[in-house]
Structure 1
């Protein structure tokens, strides 16, 4: 038997080689780029319209945001399901790089991770099938948050059963609003609606985007609220400042070009609200996040025997803030505001924080996080985001407009009128270049 050496000169083999080469070229072309690095994303899968797990993968607004980001950065998202009570623990354990599932910014979450600029605002809503004993309140208050809160106070009786998703933001809201009612904390978010539908609960706590979907098909349901003004953002591991920075830059750009607004309109409908991933709004959201940590800071200082005012620490914060803004502005090829304007703004932040600490009601027996190991690192992460946003502020901010925005975004942060006005005034004065005016 004779064996012949195979050669590409053989016509059939030559044709096969050409064909395989063409296929390989097509697969490596612009439309068929090889999969990029993995991006592990936590999602609940039980929270439409943000994350709804169907057919082996999640769908919804939060999923679309992450997939758009991943495509723009040539990343390959892989989805990891979490349960709401384990969200913080799973992020801290490194089970995913970021979580996005309509996640509300909360202080206990700020302690262990990084939030991005906000992607939307939301509010808690009570869906109520009014019990026979609960008369419709006759209130002189105009429709709005105060009237809704007054109705909640009237409903707060031991006979009332309120269903809520266990371990999430809304359970904390429920326990802060209802002190006598029975709170039914249910681990499966979809089962919360079922408890209302079957009569197991008189009411269910949802939000203004989820509530209309839950109310569909149910009779005799009233809507009370919104009861809160909440901020929703992506939640990133504390040790991934690089990922947070990329997400923030991308979200700000997507808001500016209208793409993020289009996603909100597509998945969330008209209740999605106004744009949020804008420098001024995001800076005010970061201010509110920082201030929300101040009652814990006050408790930690009291526990450690430290005074509220720490001038050497304030000097370090001011110096670090100036340097961080200069660095961020340099990376953007922009001139930073003057040092005097930066000091005025960040000193207003520091003084407002001290005011919140002094007014905080401290339970001496309640546990509080460590000042040096948890609170100050969390504040530093927020401050880094603020520095990047200061560097991106547009020229010619109108003080009256900024004040209106500050009243909207900081109205529930525990500030007095003078503190809020000072933050708005010094923010409006942050203009690029050495000619920034100090109010």
Structure 2
């Protein structure tokens, strides 16, 4: 009596059918990415402080800077327009996690504290904290130990990683918090403070912009650091898109062209 092969095939067929059904269910239940929301809205909303040259600077009712131009590039890659949302360093993470914007850009340092509440893009710059001082005092302030003395006045903008670095490393120096990150460098020239700690790239830009100020060892900063863009936590689809756009911007020279507009 012939033996039928069909019964032996039934379990495999059932497994395939079940697998396809499960895959379809998983796809149907896949969470919507912020990328979908952005495309439906027709606009990429970008939180930025507007006070951190050369990355973001409020000017003439708009913004300019490295990350402003890169934000426009990202929006174009998505196929939408760029809309900027004003924030400040002390409110940056709260505004972002509250959903006031899709992405935060503008010289944002990658930190583990921020990483707890948001994703970061692939870092786009290696940076670090460096002092900027009056040129006559440059030789005096070569290290943390040189700065951390009772007669040294350190001035810092509030709410960001600059303030955190200052408070973590300077226990004897006099620390003053100054609310305006645009005019803060003028306080050094006016003799009202001795040192500002900022990102090394920013100290280079301010050195060129304000005669009399000198960056101290900006190519050998006091602390290693990276910069990236804040993205919604858990949204791997949006992060993958931003990372790929950033990779292509660097590979094609677009990133370097924008960077050189504001730094060199």
Shared fold, TM over 0.5: yes
Contact conserved, 1:49 with 1:61, CA < 8 A, in 2?
A: yes
Which moved further from structure 2: 191-200 or 164-173? 191-200
Decide whether aligned partners of structure 1 residues 222 and 52 sit closer, same or farther in structure 2, where only a CA change above 3 A counts: closer
Decide whether aligned partners of structure 1 residues 198 and 253 sit closer, same or farther in structure 2, where only a CA change above 3 A counts: same
State the match for 2:71 in structure 1: 66
- Aligned partners of 1:169, 1:45: CA distance in 2, in Å? 16
- Aligned partners of 2:62, 2:124: CA distance in 1, in Å? 22
- Aligned partners of 1:130, 1:179: CA distance in 2, in Å? 24
State the match for 1:349 in structure 2: none
Greater strand share, structure number: 2
State the match for 2:166 in structure 1: 174
Q: How many aligned residue pairs are there?
A: 222
- Aligned partners of 1:220, 1:52: CA distance in 2, in Å? 20
State the match for 1:183 in structure 2: 175
Which deviations, in whole Å up to 9, do the C-alpha atoms of 1:283-336 show, x marking residues without a partner?
A: xxxxxxxxxxxxxxxxxxxxxxxxxxxxxxxxxxxxxxxxxxxxxxxxxxxxxx
Q: SS of 2:223's equivalent?
A: coil
Q: Is the aligned partner of 1:196 residue 2:188?
A: yes
Spell out the pairing of 1:228-243 with structure 2 (5 A cutoff).
228-238=223-233, 240-243=235-238
Q: Is the aligned partner of 1:108 residue 2:82?
A: no
| Residue 260 (structure 1) shift | 1.9
- Aligned partners of 1:136, 1:63: CA distance in 2, in Å? 36
| Residue 119 (structure 1) shift | 1.2
Larger relative contact order (Cα-Cα within 8 Å, sequence gap ≥ 6): 2
| Residue 60 (structure 1) shift | 0.7
State the match for 2:212 in structure 1: 219
- Aligned partners of 1:60, 1:128: CA distance in 2, in Å? 24
- Aligned partners of 2:197, 2:249: CA distance in 1, in Å? 31
- Aligned partners of 1:57, 1:111: CA distance in 2, in Å? 31
Q: Is the aligned partner of 1:48 residue 2:53?
A: yes
Contact conserved, 1:36 with 1:76, CA < 8 A, in 2?
A: no
State the match for 1:252 in structure 2: 247
State the match for 2:17 in structure 1: none
Spell out the pairing of 1:114-129 with structure 2 (5 A cutoff).
114-129=119-134
Contact conserved, 1:153 with 1:177, CA < 8 A, in 2?
A: no
State the match for 2:261 in structure 1: 266
Which deviations, in whole Å up to 9, do the C-alpha atoms of 1:345-379 show, x marking residues without a partner?
A: xxxxxxxxxxxxxxxxxxxxxxxxxxxxxxxxxxx
Decide whether aligned partners of structure 1 residues 98 and 183 sit closer, same or farther in structure 2, where only a CA change above 3 A counts: same
Contact conserved, 1:128 with 1:224, CA < 8 A, in 2?
A: no
Q: SS of 1:206's equivalent?
A: strand
- Aligned partners of 1:242, 1:220: CA distance in 2, in Å? 44
TM-score by length of 2: 0.76
- Aligned partners of 1:131, 1:178: CA distance in 2, in Å? 22
- Aligned partners of 1:253, 1:219: CA distance in 2, in Å? 39
Tell me which structure has the larger Cα radius of gyration. Answer: 1
- Aligned partners of 2:258, 2:132: CA distance in 1, in Å? 26
| Residue 135 (structure 1) shift | 7.8
Contact conserved, 1:62 with 1:102, CA < 8 A, in 2?
A: yes
Contact conserved, 1:44 with 1:84, CA < 8 A, in 2?
A: yes
TM-score by length of 1: 0.47
State the match for 2:101 in structure 1: 96
Q: Is the aligned partner of 1:39 residue 2:44?
A: yes
Greater helix share, structure number: 1
Contact conserved, 2:189 with 2:213, CA < 8 A, in 1?
A: no
- Aligned partners of 1:70, 1:221: CA distance in 2, in Å? 36
| Residue 211 (structure 1) shift | 1.3
| Residue 249 (structure 1) shift | 1.4
- Aligned partners of 2:173, 2:80: CA distance in 1, in Å? 47
Query: Which sections of structure 2, spanning at least 5 residues, go unmatched?
Result: 1-39
- Aligned partners of 1:87, 1:219: CA distance in 2, in Å? 32
Which moved further from structure 2: 91-100 or 152-161? 152-161
Residue in structure 1 matching 2:155, options 163, 176, 179: 163
